[in-house]
Structure 1
Amino acid sequence: MTKTWFITGVNSGFGRELAEQVLSRGDRVAGTVRREGSVDDLRAKYGDRFWLGHLDVTDILQVRKVVDAAFGELGRIDVVVINAGYGLFGAAEEFTDEQVVHQITTNLIGSIQTARAALPHLRAQGGGRIIQISSVAGLAAHPGASLYHAGKWGIEGFMEALAEEVAQFGIEVTLVEPGGARTSFSGSSLQLSQPLAAYDDTPAAAVRAFKDTAVPVPGDPAKVAAKVIASAAQQPAPMRLVLGSDCYQGATAALRKRLAQVEPQQASASETDAES
C-alpha cells in the first residue's frame, strides 16, 4: 500500500537516500531542505509525488508552519522521519557560545519541535510512525564529541519517553542508531571548533583529523535507508534500530561499561533511603 512520508533534510546524506528509495517504490514524500534548488532533480523526476518545503529547524515557528502545510496539502502522512542535523566536534572548552546554542538548537530542539508539530496531526488521523535518526553517538560517548553527544543523548531520552506517551494514540516511535556511514557527513555536515593548543596532545584532538583524513567507515547509506524503510512496516515498531557492526560493538561496550559502574553500588545506593 502506498505511504506518504515526511522527511527533513532530503538534500544529502540519509535524508536524500531515504527520499530517493521511497519515491522510487511509488510512495509520496514531503521533504524539507534549507537550501532551495538542492533537490531540483527530484522535483523534476517525481513531480507531484514530491512535495517540498523550505525549512531551517532552528526556526520554531517555521517548523510548525511547514509541518502543518505538509499535512494540510497531502492529508494523511504515515511516517515522519526527523533527520536534519549536523556534527560539531572539538573539546568542550573550544566551542564558542554561539556554536553551543546552534548545535543544540539544531540537533535537539529542532528534532523535538518537529515531533511536537506532527503529533496533533498524527493523533487526529489515528496513528502513524515517528522515526528519529539518532546515532551510535546517542548510546556511547567519546572525547571531542561532547556537544554532539549532548544533542543525541538528549533526543534519545525525549523519544523514549515520547513513545510511551503516545502509544495509546496509535503513534509509534523508532530511534535509528547508525554507526559510521559513507555519506557527506564528514564534509558539508561536519564542523570543527577552533583548536586550543592546550588540547593538542589530548584525546579530544583526534577529531581534528576528520576533515583532512578519509576515515574508513563500514556503513552503506543505501543499505541503512532500506532498513529504515523496512522498519516502518514492523509491528510493533522497534524502539531502537541498530545499524552497522561498529554501532553494535560501540553501543554494547558502552552499556556494559555503564552497568559495571552502577551495579557494584546496589548496597550503598540504599543507604540514602529514608527510614520507614
Structure 2
Amino acid sequence: MARTWLITGISSGFGRELAEQLLASGDRVAGTLRKLDAVDDLKARYGDRLWTAQLDLTDGPAIHAVITRAFAELGRIDVVVNNAGYGLFGAAEGLTDAQIRHQIDTNLVGPIQVTRAALPHLRAQGGGRILAVSTYGGQATYPGASLYHASKWGLEGFFDSLAGEVAPFKIGVTIIEPGGARTGFRSTASERMGAAPQAYDGTPVGMIRTVLDDPMRAPMGDPAKMVRIMIDSVDQEPAPKRIVLGSDSYMMIEKALTERLASVRAQKEAASATDFPADD
C-alpha cells in the first residue's frame, strides 16, 4: 500500500535519495527545502505526488505553519523524516556565536519543532512513524566537531525519550545512525568551518580540513543502500529504536559504548557509596 512521507531537506543527500526512491516506488512525498527549484526535475517527473514547501529549519513559526498545511492538504501522512541538517566543524573557540546558534537551531531545535507540530496530527490519525537522521557522531565523538556532536547527542536524547512518550498512540520512533556516505556532506562541512586559531596547528582539530578535503578519503557508505534500509524499517514492528548504517558507524559506536560501559562499571562501588543507608 502506498504511503505518504514528509521529509525535511530533500534537495540533496539522504533527503534527495529518499524522495527519489519513494516516488519511483509509487509513494507520495511532501518535501521541504530552502530553494524550491532544486527539485524541479522531480516535480516534472512525478507531478502531484511530490508536494513541496520552502522551509528554513531555524524559523520556528514557519515550521509549524508548513507542517500544519502539509497535513491539511495531503490528509494522512504516514512517516515524518527529520533529515535536514549539516555538519559544523572546527575548534570550539574558533566558532562564532552565530555559527553555534545556527547549528543547534538547524540540527536540534528544528527537528524538535517539526515533530511537535506533527504529533497532534499523528495521534489524531491513529499512529505513524517518525525517523530522525542522526549519525554515529550521536554516540561517539572526535576532536573538532564539538558543536555537531552537541546537536546530534541532543537529537538522540530527545527522540529516545520521545519514543516512550508516543508509543501508547501507535507512533513508532527510529533514530538513524549512518556513517560516512558519498553525499555532499563533506564539501558543505568544509565550506562552513569555523576559524582555526593558530594554537591548534598540528593537532587533530587542525587536521580536520585536510581530512574533509582529501579525495583519497572517500566515505565507504552507499547512500542508496542506506536509504533502502531506512525505508524498509517502516515495515518493522515494533519500530527499531536505532539503526546503525555503515561499517565505520558500527565500529565507532561499538568502541564508544564499550569504553563507556567499562568506565561506568568501574565506578559501581563508588557510586553506591553516595546513597543513604538502606535502613534510613
TM-score, structure 2 normalization: 0.97
Separation in structure 2 between the aligned mates of residue 210 and residue 64 of structure 1, nearest angstrom? 38
- The one-letter code sitting in structure 2 at the alignment partner of 1:208 is R
Separation in structure 2 between the aligned mates of residue 47 and residue 102 of structure 1, nearest angstrom? 33
Counterparts of residues 22-171 of structure 1 (less than 5 Å)? 22-171=22-171
Match of 2:206 in 1: 205
Separation in structure 2 between the aligned mates of residue 79 and residue 47 of structure 1, nearest angstrom? 20
- The one-letter code sitting in structure 1 at the alignment partner of 2:182 is R
What whole-Å deviation, never above 9, does each CA across 1:155-206 have from its counterpart, x for those lacking one?
1000000000000001000000100000010123552111110111212122
- CA-CA distance at 1:112 after TM superposition: 0.7
Separation in structure 2 between the aligned mates of residue 248 and residue 50 of structure 1, nearest angstrom? 34
What percentage of aligned pairs have identical amino acids? 58
Count of residues in correspondence between the two structures = 276
- The one-letter code sitting in structure 2 at the alignment partner of 1:60 is G
SS of the aligned residue for 2:221 comes to coil
SS of the aligned residue for 2:251 comes to helix
Match of 1:272 in 2: 274
- CA RMSD in angstroms comes to 0.9
Whether the aligned pair in 2 keeps the contact of 1:90 and 1:204 (CA below 8 Å) is: yes
- The one-letter code sitting in structure 2 at the alignment partner of 1:274 is F
Separation in structure 1 between the aligned mates of residue 213 and residue 172 of structure 2, nearest angstrom? 40
- Mean Cα displacement is larger for which, 198-207 or 103-112? 198-207
Whether the aligned pair in 1 keeps the contact of 2:36 and 2:52 (CA below 8 Å) is: no
Separation in structure 2 between the aligned mates of residue 273 and residue 199 of structure 1, nearest angstrom? 43
- The one-letter code sitting in structure 1 at the alignment partner of 2:263 is Q
Whether the aligned pair in 2 keeps the contact of 1:186 and 1:210 (CA below 8 Å) is: no
TM-score, structure 1 normalization: 0.98
What whole-Å deviation, never above 9, does each CA across 1:35-55 have from its counterpart, x for those lacking one?
121110011110000000100
Separation in structure 2 between the aligned mates of residue 93 and residue 155 of structure 1, nearest angstrom? 23
Separation in structure 2 between the aligned mates of residue 124 and residue 41 of structure 1, nearest angstrom? 34
Q: In the alignment, is residue 8 of structure 1 matched against residue 26 of structure 2?
A: no
SS of the aligned residue for 1:205 comes to coil
- CA-CA distance at 1:71 after TM superposition: 0.5
Counterparts of residues 181-220 of structure 1 (less than 5 Å)? 181-188=181-188, 190=190, 191-214=192-215, 215-220=217-222
Structure 2 residues without counterparts, runs of 5 or longer: none
